Amino acid sequence: MGHHQKQIKVSNDETIRLGDIRSVLMVGGYGAGLAGMLVALVMGIMAGDRLRHFFFAYLTNYLFFLSIALGALGFIALQHLTRAGWSASVRRITEIIAMTLAPMALLFLPILFSVLSGSHSLYEWNNSELVATNHVLAGKAPYLNSTFFAIRAVLYFAVWIAAARFFFAKSTAQDESGDPSLTLRMESKSPLVVAAFALTVTFASIDWAMSLDPMWFSTMYGVYFFAGAMVAFFSFTLICCSVLQSWGKLTEVITVERYHDLSKFIWGFTLFWGYIAFSQYLLYWYGNIPEETGWYLVRQNDAWRNVSLLLLFGMFIIPFLGTMGRAVRRNRALMVAWAIFLLVMHWVDIFWLVMPQYSPDKLPFGPMEIACLIGLGGFFIGNLAWIAAERPLLAFRDPRLTESLTLENM
């Protein structure tokens, strides 16, 4: 009711800080992370395939959590670019998620070192014997080689960490000073971040996931990865909001309107993902050119066919219809269920992108994947709690916060 001039008191106290929960999250997260990674590593060494399975499972889960963090960075830049008011009350949470990109850079080191040491368990293009006999790979060698791969990886992380730190530092500084000019600073830099984000995410997805099959190429791949990342990010943020509220945090400031807004984005990016996935598929299906269809052929045959169908229905058709209604979007419990469902589907999506390269004829889902999921997931949660520290979970002096708190969906 707009005319009752809603007065929402934002108090700078325990209700907008993690407090005691933080140490629990850090111990639990890092503990699960270490245990999971250790188990996965031991299993990987025992497997005797030169850690091949381990690296593939690691990469799958790494890209899953990285995509959530990347989605957060893209989201923040977009909110500042469009001078959005609605998101002010959830933006700090997304800033914390985006800040996990810094520890994510450390977790990329195993992959980077394995490539630099000349291992080709993950990336075939790192196999000099194969490249020597393969015209296509020889032609791509100036781009796909371990040195340039490392340089690019460093560049991507430099850009992401710089951008995430910039937004986080300015936003937390505003908690102290309440200076609205900081918002203007962030807005003025956001176009640059959006441009850099678009390029780095595209190239990173090509480098780390698409080049697993170095013979194949898709100009749509970066957009596809981005679309999935945004679905995962919005779902994760919605779950974060709900979990924080169930712990008694931010209870006043995150209203049903914010859940509604986040759900609209979930729905929109689900449609976008379906649109992009189909755009990529249709051209290859129609052209039916061997070097282009090979990638899909693996994913259309044997066990992978069911995963492809699962994605079609689980990532697009079912959630598209399921989250279409206004009543669903304004139902917090229902939307949390949809968000969990979509996170699982996004994991399946990354699994579907990466794993057929390791095991083209049967589903490799097993203890290794679960151990890596627990390991990297534990690190991710631990990182979130570590970054959140004793900082407010709400940008309580953001000049647009009042707008966000009183905004209602028509």
Partner 1 sequence: MSKSTEKTSPKSLGLLVEFEDQHQLLKACEAVRDAGLTKTDAHVPFPVHGIDEALGIRKTMLPWLVLAMGLTGGISGLAMQYYMNATEQPGMLLSGYPYMISGKPTFSLPANIPVTFELTILLSAFGAFFGMIALNKLPVFSNPLFRHKNFARATNDRFFLTVDATDPKYKGQKHREMLEKFSPVAIDEIEADPSCDQIPKFMKYVVIVLLAALTVPPMMVWNARNTTSPHPRIHPIQDMDNQLKKKTQTTSPIFADGRAMRPRVPGSVARGEWQPLEFLTGVVPGGEATSNVALLQDEEKPAEDKPAAEDKPAEEKPADEAKPAEEKPADEKPAGDKPAAADAAAEEKPPEPDWVTTFPETLEINAKLMERGQQRYNIYCAVCHGVSGEGNGLVSLRAFELQQPTWVQPTNLHDPNVTKQPVGRVFNTITNGIRKMPSYEAQITPEDRWAIVLYLKALQKSRDATIQDVPQIEADALKGQGN
Is position 305 an interface residue for partner 1 (rule: CB under 8 A)? no
Joined together, the tokens standing for residue 340 give: 């969990």
Task: Look up residue 303 and give its two tokens.
Answer: 């066990």
Binding to partner 1 (CB under 8 A) within 38-97 occurs at none
- The contact mask relative to partner 1 for 264-303 (x = CB under 8 A, - = no) is --------------x--xx--xx-x---------------
- Based on the shown chain and the rule CB under 8 A, indicate whether residue 7 belongs to the binding site for partner 1: no
Q: Is the dihedral of CA 156, 159, 162, 163 positive or negative?
A: negative
> Residue 177 CB, nearest distance to partner 1 (Å)?
31
Q: Contact between 133 and partner 1 (CB under 8 A)? A: no
How far is it, in rounded angstroms, from Cα 183 to Cα 149? 36
User: Distance (Å, rounded) from C-alpha 303 to C-alpha 220?
Assistant: 25
How does 381-393 read in b/e, with b if 16+ C-beta sit within 10 Å? bbbbbbbbeebbb
Cβ(204)–Cβ(346) below 8 Å: no
Examine residue 1 and tell whether it contacts partner 1 (CB under 8 A).
yes
Q: Does 327 bind partner 1 (CB under 8 A)?
A: no
Using only C-alpha atoms, the chain has a radius of gyration, in whole angstroms, of 22
Six-digit token string for 14: 């325990």
Q: Which residue lies nearer to partner 1 by CB, 281 or 338?
A: 281
Tell the burial category of 362 from Cβ atoms under 10 Å away from its Cβ (0-12, 13-18, 19+).
exposed
- Contact 80/352 with Cβ under 8 angstroms? no
CB of 325 to partner 1, least distance (A): 9
CB of 342 to partner 1, least distance (A): 22
Closer CB to partner 1, 265 or 284, in the complex: 284
Distance between CA 335 and CA 326 in Å, rounded? 11
**Between 281 and 352, whose beta carbon lies closer to partner 1?**
281
In whole angstroms, how close is the CB of 288 to partner 1 at the nearest point? 7
Tokens of 70: 């990347």
Q: Phi/psi of residue 328, each to 5°?
A: -65, -45
> Considering beta carbons, is residue 148 or 285 the nearer one to partner 1?
285
Tell me the residue type at 288: N
Nearer to partner 1, 31 or 294 (CB): 294
Nearest distance, CB of residue 279 and partner 1, angstroms = 9
* CB of 409 vs partner 1, minimal distance in Å: 10
- Nearer CB in complex with partner 1: 6/83: 6
- To the nearest whole angstrom, how small is the minimum distance from the Cβ of residue 235 to partner 1? 24
Q: Could you give the C-alpha distances from 27 to 241, 244, 370, 378, 383, in angstroms and in order?
A: 21, 18, 20, 9, 11
Nearer Cβ to partner 1 (191/325): 325
Q: How many residues form the binding site for partner 1 (CB under 8 A)?
A: 12
Minimum CB separation from partner 1 for residue 301, in Å?
A: 16
Query: d(Cα 126, Cα 149) in Å, to the nearest integer?
Result: 10
State which residue, 143 or 320, has the beta carbon closest to partner 1. Answer: 320
- 326 lies in the binding site for partner 1 (CB under 8 A): yes
Closest to partner 1 by CB, 194 vs 271, is 271
**410 near partner 1 (CB under 8 A):** yes
Write down the least CB distance from residue 282 to partner 1, Å: 6
Does residue 182 contact residue 226 with C-beta atoms inside 8 Å?
no
| Secondary structure of residue 162 in the 3-state scheme | helix
| Interface contacts to partner 1, rule CB under 8 A | 1-3, 278, 281-282, 285-286, 288, 326, 408, 410
